[in-house]
Amino acid sequence: MRRTRMAPGLVLGALTVLTACSAPDVAAPHPPVGAAALPAATSTTTPPPPATPCAAGVDACVSLSARQAWLLRDGAVRFGPVPIMPGKPSGPTPTGTFRVQWKDRDHHSKEFDAPMPDSVFFAPGGIAFHAGSLQTPSNGCIHLADADARRFFDELAVGAVVQVVP
C-alpha cells in the first residue's frame, strides 16, 4: 500500500469540511446576514396612468361625460384625473379646444354674485376652471375641489391649451 503525504494545512481544512458537513442540523440563533433585510419579491413598476380622451399637445383635458380633468405635459399626464362638476343643461360647458385667456386668484362673478377662487378663464362667456361645488352644476364653468383648483391655477399659464370633450 502506498502512502500519500498531504500538507498539514490541507488535512486540517479537509477535516473542518468533513466535520461541518456531517454535523447534525442545529438551528442558527440568527438569520444569515442580510436575509432579514430582503423583502418578499414584489413588482416595483407602477402602471402608467390611464390615457386621456384628449388630443396630443394639450395642457389640460376635460371629459364632461366622465366628469374628470387632467393636467398634461408633452402628452403625459402630470396630474389627475380629478373630479369635476361641469355646467348644468341650461348653462352647459362648451366643448372644443381653447387657450387660457387670463387668470384671477380671487375672482368674484358680477353676473352671478359668487366667488370663483383660483379662476383660469379659457372659453368665451367667462368660462373657467375654478374652485366650486362638486355636487351642484355650474353655469358653464368647470368646478374643481379647492386643492385641485389651486394646482390648475398654478400650472396653467396664459396661452395654455385646454380641450373639453363631451
Count the residues in the chain: 166
In angstroms, the first-to-last Cα distance of the chain is 98
Task: Say if strands 76-85 and 142-144 run parallel, antiparallel, or are unpaired.
Answer: antiparallel
73-117 tens-digit pLDDT: 998 999 999 999 999 999 999 999 999 999 999 999 999 999 999
Cell of 20: 461541518
Contact indicator for 142, 100 with CB cutoff of 8 Å: no
Instruction: Pick 37 or 159 by higher pLDDT.
Output: 159
Radius of gyration of the chain (CA): 33
Out of 21-25, 62-66, 141-145, pick the least confident: 21-25
3-state secondary structure the chain: CCCCCCCHHHHHHHHHHHHHHHCCCCCCCCCCCCCCCCCCCCCCCCCCCCCCCCCCCCCEEEECCCCEEEEEECCEEEEEEEEEECECCCCCCCCEEEECCEEEEEEEECCCCEEEEEEEEEECCCEEEEECCCCCCECCCEEECHHHHHHHHHHCCCCCEEEEEC
Q: Which amino acid is at 33?
A: V
What is the per-residue pLDDT for 51?
A: 82
Map out the domains of the chain with their CATH numbers.
84-158 (2.40.440.10)
Q: What percentage of the chain carries pLDDT values higher than 70? A: 70
- C-alpha to C-alpha distance for 91 and 110, rounded to whole angstroms: 16
pLDDT of residue 50: 63
Task: Judge if pTM exceeds 0.95.
Answer: no
Judged against a pLDDT cut of 50, whether residue 17 lies above it is answered with no
Integer Cα distance of 98 and 95 in angstroms: 9
| Structure confidence at residue 33 as a pLDDT band (50, 70, 90) | low
